[in-house]
Structure 1
Amino acid sequence: MNQHLVVFVKVVDLKSFSQAAEQLHMTQPAVSQYIQSLERLMGVKLLDRTSKMVRLNKAGEIVYHHAVEILGLYSRMQSLVDDLSNTASGTLSIGASYTFGEHVLPHIIAKLSKQYPHIKPTITIGNTKEISDLVRNHQLDIGIVEGNFNQRQLSVENFAEDLMYIFTSAEHPFTQLEMITAAELKEETWIVREVGSGTREAAEKMFVSFGFIPVKVLEFGSAQLIKESVEAGLGITLLSQWATQKELSLGTLSIVNIQGMPIRRKFSIVTHSATFQTKAMEVFKKIAQTSIV
């Protein structure tokens, strides 16, 4: 059954029998046989197939969702058994929200790979809600997120503090002022992240604490796009110190001086509450915790 699920998930992910066959080092007829066999076992068709595409039907969506979870549990089980007699090794699926994942995680992975070359990490970047949901559904071994999120079925460990500032372009009039008022901030165009992002949550809390609703808000799904838009003079934003170190050193972004800043927020390591900790997970957590001081 395990190989049936492996083939099925690969076909769905790639939306192609031929590409799945290539990646699995199988013939296309063999892939088709596995899918047909799985459909017989389930007693229902799982895929709608045309000459151009492969698409899940309703039954297929149910099987795919549980197949991903089953394969994740199987991999974790194998890693735990291997841990009994071996050093930290095997696959480790790591998720992180954008701020941490794009600006801090690469340095942690570099240390992990140097110290534990037999661990094979895979990285998923998403917003806080997406990463916590993937950990909850056993699709990720471990996640690093910020802000509030549904903690059901998750073990949560706070491990790092981040500082957030209001940023403008280097040419913005605010850079000539010693101190800015909340009334002046209200009139600016604010560039914010999408709903579900920890950075968006922090911005909305800041608006409440300053007692205003921005006159104009632009929503972008990438910190990099936000930074470039602010540099171009499109608006102002709230971002992490981790996400802006390069721009500050180059002088393309400036920090706004206003009472009550910076905003402090916690980053957390999340794992599934019912999951045994593999050695790979334990060493990753240790490296992550000691890398942030």
Structure 2
Amino acid sequence: MAVWPFSSQVSFNQGNQQVRGRFAPSPSGPLHFGSLVAAVGSYLHAKANNGLWFVRIEDIDTSRVDASAQGQILDALYAFGLHWDVDLQTQSQLQNGDRNCLKQTARLSRYQEVLDFLESKELIYGCACTRKEIKASGGLYQGTCRDKYLDLHNNPIRLKQTRPIYQFSDGIFGPQSCDPLMAQEDYIIKRRDGLFSYQLAVVVDDIDQGITHVVRGADIMPLTARQLSLYQTLEVDPPEFLHLPLAVTKPGHKLSKQNHAPAINSSNPQPELLKALSFLGYAQPSLSNKSLNLDSLAKASPQTILEWAVEHWSQTKINQQTEIII
């Protein structure tokens, strides 16, 4: 029987009294405005609560990685004044050249350790069903291979869904209900090509970094119930979740690297930084504050703008729309 792999992490989390947030970009291209909103929102939430803010590189899907993107992303964050933290809880997990950012591709042995634990609990199984077969049966996997005891090395691996989550509360959008069939689905946690799934990696990463609050885009909100159920399966308390509206060009068309959204301008960060704050519900600075009016803020350094934003952060002012056209 594999040993429960979260003893030290849970011990740390139980003694931790500090907010710990993170921004976790995929290095498939340079940062665009939608990514900037997520970065700024997660940074301000952490810092306004006297917390720490980490950056993690989610490069688990190596087929989508752009070799130059990681450096571009980290340089852009720095240019916008978004400086990330490192502490003893995460420092031991870093490697030389990581620029104090956890990288998923450096953590494959850790994911396998968790997978071995799930196997010891008989919570995973091999599946031979094709996408075409699943689509023909309605689009959601029906548990066809659950009791066939197929090989785990030559097939995709699915998690037995024993603790489905049907409802949860989001810090921005409030109570959320989930599709019951999706909540009950045995989903893939390791692909046929050997790549670990985003679902497994992101939960293990957040546990290991002691993340207390996940602030991210609303496009990932439908996956939250599935991740909450995995926390229960792993017997670890989950973080709180807050989802931010998506920046879209028209309904259903979010800004994304796949849609070739233009990169943010790191050489002149102030305009887009202020635009991101407006997107997050910030009104213009009070003109009664003679030391900081709108003109002076527009000409201020990114650090000064962020300091002002931290002081005036309020998640209740964020628009409760999943999409906002820009």
**Structure 1 or 2: more helix by fraction:** 1
TM-score, L = length of structure 2:
0.21
Larger radius of gyration: 1
TM-score, L = length of structure 1:
0.22
**Structure 1 or 2: more strand by fraction:** 1
